[in-house]
């Protein structure tokens, strides 16, 4: 991934990272809701480097909607940067309000996550719990943010004006491999609202995306679930190459192995919140 080096000035980035360090010192010790995504990986490493090993704790909530590949990344980053990690299981799929997949599904997921994670953080001696929400997220449809507020989870990156681009630049400066990682929302985001979230469907999506990664597809990638049909969204730079008939056959075979009987390639390519647009939650 190429970063637009002119989009973030060194002075701006230095000011933001200093502000984050000050925030962390003022609120230490800090537990981080940690997924291994771009944002929480940066926050966990920044907290570890600012506060030391004993005053920063990354907590992973594991469930069927959390891709195994991302869990592996989370573990790898934590190991490389000596971040202490605690893992716990979450059961959002057992909540029928979540499984029904309403447009505020993320609220129920985050309620489950924080209601388990926050008490554990407190009992381990971490009175401040933070998440990786960034400033860009504030303009998107994010019902999960309400749950964070209800559980007194702070979002220092958003609070201090860190955009995704700031976080990628800062991550690269620290040598965190996730700096160029595509955004990685939970697997349930591939199902249209109103389509029931089941472990089987999440597994199907995860297998299909993993198979596509094995084909060498880089950058943003989503397998959107439409019952028997998988609609694949690729980064626009990848799209043309996969419209070659021979490569289309390879792509079809890879996705079909995950249990889809029909495979389609989106002609516009990846867009964040694509199913929100399809179902009228927001306008692209």
Partner 1 sequence: MSELRGERTSRNAVALAAAIAELGIDCALEARGGLALLLPTPEGVAALQVDESRRAVLALAKEHGFTHVAIELPSERRRSSTSADAPLLRG
Q: Which residues in this chain contact partner 1 in the complex, by CB under 8 A?
A: 226, 229, 231, 239-240, 243-245, 248-249, 251-252, 256, 261-268, 274, 277-280, 284
Angle at 212 between CA 209 and CA 217, to 5 degrees: 115
Q: Distance (Å, rounded) from C-alpha 5 to C-alpha 252?
A: 37
Nearest of 10, 16, 11 to residue 161 by alpha carbon: 16
Whichever of 71 and 242 has its CB closer to partner 1, that residue is: 242
* Chain centre distance of CA 260: 24
Whichever of 15 and 249 has its CB closer to partner 1, that residue is: 249
* Chain centre distance of CA 15: 25
H or E segment to which residue 59 belongs: strand 56-62
Whichever of 88 and 284 has its CB closer to partner 1, that residue is: 284
Closest approach of Cβ 275 to partner 1, in Å? 9
Whichever of 102 and 192 has its CB closer to partner 1, that residue is: 192
Is 81:48 a contact under the CB 8 Å cutoff?
yes
Whichever of 124 and 243 has its CB closer to partner 1, that residue is: 243
With tokens 């997921």, the residue in question is 109
Can you read off the two tokens belonging to residue 48? Answer: 């570890």
> How far is CA 20 from each of CA 26, 29, 56, rounded to the nearest angstrom?
10, 14, 14
Can you read off the two tokens belonging to residue 125? Answer: 């001696």
β-strand pairing of 229-234 with 221-226: antiparallel
Whichever of 96 and 280 has its CB closer to partner 1, that residue is: 280
With tokens 């594991």, the residue in question is 62
Whichever of 185 and 259 has its CB closer to partner 1, that residue is: 259
Whichever of 89 and 246 has its CB closer to partner 1, that residue is: 246
The long-range contacts involving 203-208, CB below 8 angstroms and separated by at least 24 positions, are 203/64, 204/258, 204/259, 204/260, 205/258, 206/67, 206/68, 207/257, 207/258, 207/259, 208/232, 208/254, 208/255, 208/257, 208/258, 208/260
Closest approach of Cβ 209 to partner 1, in Å? 16
């Amino acid at each position: 991934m190429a970063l637009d080096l002119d989009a973030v000035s060194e002075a701006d980035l230095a000011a933001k990272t200093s502000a984050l360090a000050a925030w962390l010192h003022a609120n230490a010790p800090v537990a981080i809701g940690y997924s291994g995504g771009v944002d929480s990986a940066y926050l966990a490493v920044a907290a570890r480097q600012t506060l030391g090993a004993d005053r920063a704790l990354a907590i992973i909530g594991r469930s069927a909607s959390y891709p195994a590949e991302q869990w592996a990344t989370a573990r790898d980053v934590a190991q490389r940067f000596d971040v202490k990690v605690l893992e716990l299981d979450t059961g959002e799929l057992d909540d029928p309000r979540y499984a029904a997949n309403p447009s505020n599904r993320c609220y129920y997921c985050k309620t489950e996550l924080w209601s388990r994670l926050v008490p554990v953080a407190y009992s381990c001696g971490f009175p401040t719990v933070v998440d990786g929400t960034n400033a860009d997220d504030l303009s998107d449809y994010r019902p999960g943010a309400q749950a964070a507020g209800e559980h007194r989870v702070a979002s220092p990156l958003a609070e201090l004006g860190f955009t995704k681009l700031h976080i990628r630049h800062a991550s690269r400066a620290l040598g965190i491999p996730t700096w160029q990682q595509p955004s990685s929302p939970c697997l349930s985001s591939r199902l249209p609202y109103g389509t029931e979230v089941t472990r089987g469907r999440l597994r199907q999506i995860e297998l299909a995306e993993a198979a596509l990664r094995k084909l060498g597809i880089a950058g943003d990638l989503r397998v959107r679930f439409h019952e028997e049909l998988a609609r694949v969204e690729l980064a626009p730079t990848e799209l043309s190459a996969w419209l070659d008939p021979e490569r289309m056959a390879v792509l079809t075979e890879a996705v079909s192995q995950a249990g889809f009987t029909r495979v389609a390639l989106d002609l516009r390519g990846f867009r964040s919140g694509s199913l929100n647009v399809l179902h009228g939650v927001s306008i692209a």
